[in-house]
Amino acid sequence: MLAAFSIAPLTSDPTGSVTDAVARAVKVVRDSGLPNETTAMFTTVEGEWDEVMAVVKDAVDAVAQVSPRVSLVLKADIRPGHTGQLTAKVQRIDEALGEVSP
């Protein structure tokens, strides 16, 4: 499965910055060893249901250590028997557009 998610503290920081808290969540994902990618708005992780959900929970818990309230947005593509889709899906689109992935 692929799971794209965004975790953020609900904060009263006057600057509105959530960088440090979000970095805690991203570190959990990167330390998991699962294939992952972080973009400006979401982090996507690939793996089996239980391992992906465990990473999402651990990432939420990491943010909860610095915020009493946490927001989670989650979208999943559950397709048993398919792996490597984190990059393969993008490659198929690039091929359809006549482009080559880096």
Question: What CATH number corresponds to the domain at position 58?
Answer: 3.30.70.930
Instruction: Look at the chain and report how many structural domains it folds into.
Output: 1
pTM attached to this predicted model: 0.85
Q: What's the pLDDT band for 102 if we cut at 50, 70, 90?
A: low
Residues 6+ apart with CB under 8 A from 43: 4, 5, 6, 7, 25, 26, 29, 36, 37, 59
Per the domain annotation, does 102 fall within a domain? Answer: no
Domain of residue 83, residue span: 2-96
pLDDT one-digit tens code per residue, 64-99: 999 889 999 999 999 988 889 888 888 889 899 997
| Residue 47: both structure tokens together | 């793996």
